[in-house]
Amino acid sequence: MYAFGKVMRRLIKEHETSQADICRETGLSKQSLSWICKGKTQYPSIHVCKKLATYFGMTLDELWEMVEQEEGE
């Protein structure tokens, strides 16, 4: 399980949203987001990371800091 997926699942829960909502708002495919959330993708592309950070109302740096913290645990 990759850290990025753990962070995504936590953000989805904290923001009380769903993968379907994220896909609808960001244009990401359901399969891509599912793979990220299941931890099957270590690091999504910078383009995807930026879309996800924007969706959750944070900067790319803030998102990446969360991932790095998760990796350190």
Q: Could you report the per-residue pLDDT of 12-41, keeping only the tens digit for each?
A: 999 999 999 999 999 999 999 999 999 888
pLDDT for the residue 12: 98
What is the model's pTM?
A: 0.90
Q: Is 16 exposed, middle or buried (0-12, 13-18, 19+ CB in 10 A)?
A: exposed
pLDDT for the residue 1: 64
Mark 42-61 as b/e (b = at least 16 C-beta within 10 Å).
eebeeebbebbbebbeeeee
For residue 10, the 8-state DSSP code is: H
Q: Is the pLDDT of residue 66 over 90?
A: yes
Query: Which domains are delineated in the chain?
Result: 3-72 (1.10.260.40)
